[in-house]
Chain A
Amino acid sequence: MTGRIKILVVDDELIVRESLIGWLKKTGYEVAGAEGGARAIEMLSERDYDLIFLDIKMPDMSGIEVLQHIRANYPASMVIMITAYGSVENAVEAMKLGANDYLMKPFEPEQLALLVERLLQHKRLLDENLMLRERVAARMRCQDLIGASPCMQQLFNIIEEVATAESPVLLRGETGTGKELVAKAIHSRSGRCYGPFIPINCGAFTETLLESELFGHESGSFTGATRAKKGRLEIAQGGTLFLDEIGEIPLKMQVDLLRVLEEKRFHRVGATHDTPLDFRLICATHRDLNKEIQRGTFRQDFYYRLNVIEIEVPPLRLRVEDIPVLAEHFLEQFRKETNKPVVGIQQHAMKLLEAYQWPGNVRELENVIERAVVLAKGRYLTRNDFAFLFSTPAQTIPHSLKEMERQHIERLLKLCNWNISKAAGLLEINRVTLHSKIKKYGLHP
Chain B
Amino acid sequence: MNPGRRGPVADDPPAAGVHPGATGSSSKEETSMRPLLTVGLVAMGHLAEVAIRVVAANLQTILGIHVDILEPLEVPRESFLTQRQQYDAGLILRHLAQSALPCHLRILGITAIDLCVPILTYVYGEAEVGGRVAVVSDFRLRQTDDGFPASLDRYYERLAKVALHEVAHTFALHHCDGPGCLMHFAATLKQLDRVKLLFCDHCEFALRMNLKQILADSTKAT
A interface vs B, CB < 8 Å?
13, 15-16, 18-20, 22-23, 25-28, 105-110, 112-113
Contacts and interface: CB of A to CB of B under 8 A. Distances in A.
4 A-B pairs with least C-beta separation: A28-B174, A110-B187, A109-B187, A19-B119
Given A26-B129, A26-B175, A27-B174, A113 B185 contact: yes
Contacts of B123: 109
Interface in B175-192: 175, 185, 187-188, 191
A108 B128 CA distance: 20
A105 B129 CA distance: 23
A435 to B, nearest CB: 71
A23 B119 contact: yes
Task: Kindly state the interface size class of chain B when it binds its partner.
Answer: 20 to 34
A346 B185 CA distance: 38
A22 to B, nearest CB: 6
A28 B175 contact: yes
Contacts of B116: 106
Contact of B121 (A23, A28, A108): A108
Given A19-B90, A25-B129, A26-B129, A112 B175 contact: no
Contact of B118 (A16, A25, A108): A16
Contacts, number: 59
B117 A22 contact: yes
B169 interface: yes
Nearest to B185: A113
Nearest to A109: B187
Contacts of A26: 127, 129, 169, 174-175, 185
Given A27-B185, A109-B187, A113-B185, A20 B119 contact: yes
A109 B121 contact: yes
B120 interface: yes
Interface of chain B: mostly helix, strand, loop or mixed: loop
Nearest to A29: B174
Interface string B119-134: 1111100011100000
Contacts of B185: 26-27, 113
Contacts of B121: 106-109
A1 to B, nearest CB: 14
B174 A19 contact: no
A107 B187 CA distance: 11
A23 B116 CA distance: 12
Given A13-B118, A109-B122, A113-B187, 13 more contacts: A16-B118, A18-B118, A19-B118, A22-B90, A23-B117, A25-B129, A26-B169, A28-B175, A106-B116, A106-B119, A108-B121, A109-B187, A110-B191
Contacts of B169: 26
Nearest to B89: A19
A399 to B, nearest CB: 73
A26 B116 CA distance: 16
A18 B126 CA distance: 13
A105 B117 CA distance: 11
Interface in B145-169: 169
Nearest to A14: B118
Given A26-B169, A113-B185, A105 B119 contact: yes
Contacts of A20: 119
B175 A107 contact: no
B192 to A, nearest CB: 11
A50 B191 CA distance: 27
27 contacts: A13-B118, A15-B90, A15-B118, A16-B118, A18-B90, A19-B119, A22-B117, A22-B128, A25-B174, A26-B127, A26-B129, A26-B169, A26-B174, A26-B175, A26-B185, A27-B174, A27-B175, A105-B119, A107-B119, A107-B120, A107-B121, A109-B122, A109-B123, A110-B187, A112-B120, A112-B187, A113-B185
